[in-house]
Amino acid sequence: MGISGSYGDDSSNSRLVRLGLNECEVAGAEVVFWSLTEKPLPLVGSDGSFEDETVKEFQALAKSSDAFLLSSPEYHGSFSGVMKNQLDWIYGDFVSGKVSAVMSTLGGVSNSNTLNHLRLVMRQLHMHCIPQQLAVANVKEAFDDSGILVDEKLQERLTKLCIQLLQVTTSLRP
């Protein structure tokens, strides 16, 4: 299951998640991308949010997924509020023991703040977060007009991340 920490299916993070999901699909995985454009989630705790049908669908999809590929922009040294809201809807009951991989995009130079914060949340949810991770710096120049990563080394790292995600997921299946 791919989750982007940005609204908009054409955002840098949604592009990155979709590129990763494509790598997973090429390797034989069945993939799904949660589109906040098509199915926005209410804020956790807002009126009626716990009875919202979109929330229930999101949670059911999380429960049925074996692994998660997440990417968030870095805002003020951490992941986005959009990502936080999505993660707040996923309880350990839905994802405990499952595998995740984390990625981030940054407007400037690369760092690991967002990745480290995402790892903390994955741990709180009792998920296995793979060692491989990816930070895409200078994001405005990172993709070509067709949405592909310009830097071949970044693309190679994305491919390796997705392969590791699938290998760990397969090895942890009962």
- Asked if 19 contacts 149 with a C-beta cutoff of 8 angstroms, the reply is yes
pLDDT for 108: 87
Q: What is the mean pLDDT of residues 67-91?
A: 96
Residue 109: which pLDDT band, with cuts at 50, 70 and 90?
Answer: confident
* Predicted pLDDT at 173: 81
Report how far residue 85's alpha carbon sits from residue 141's, in angstroms, rounded to the nearest whole number: 28
pLDDT at 74: 94
Give the pLDDT confidence score for residue 111 in this predicted structure: 84
pTM for this model (two decimals):
0.96
31 in Cβ contact with 67 (< 8 Å): no
pLDDT above 70 covers what percent of the chain? 99
Segment 124-150 mean pLDDT: 95
Average confidence (pLDDT) over 5-33: 96
Q: Where are the domains of the chain?
A: 2-172
Mean pLDDT of 48-74: 96
CATH architecture of structural domain 2-172: 3-Layer(aba) Sandwich (3.40)
Output the 3-class SS for 3-51. EECCCCCCCHHHHHHHHHHHHHHHCCCCCCEECCCCCCCCCCCCCCHHH
pLDDT at 6: 96
Average pLDDT in the 137-158 region? Answer: 95
Question: Average pLDDT in the 43-50 region?
Answer: 92
The answer to whether 132 and 69 are in contact (CB under 8 A) is no
pLDDT of residue 162: 98
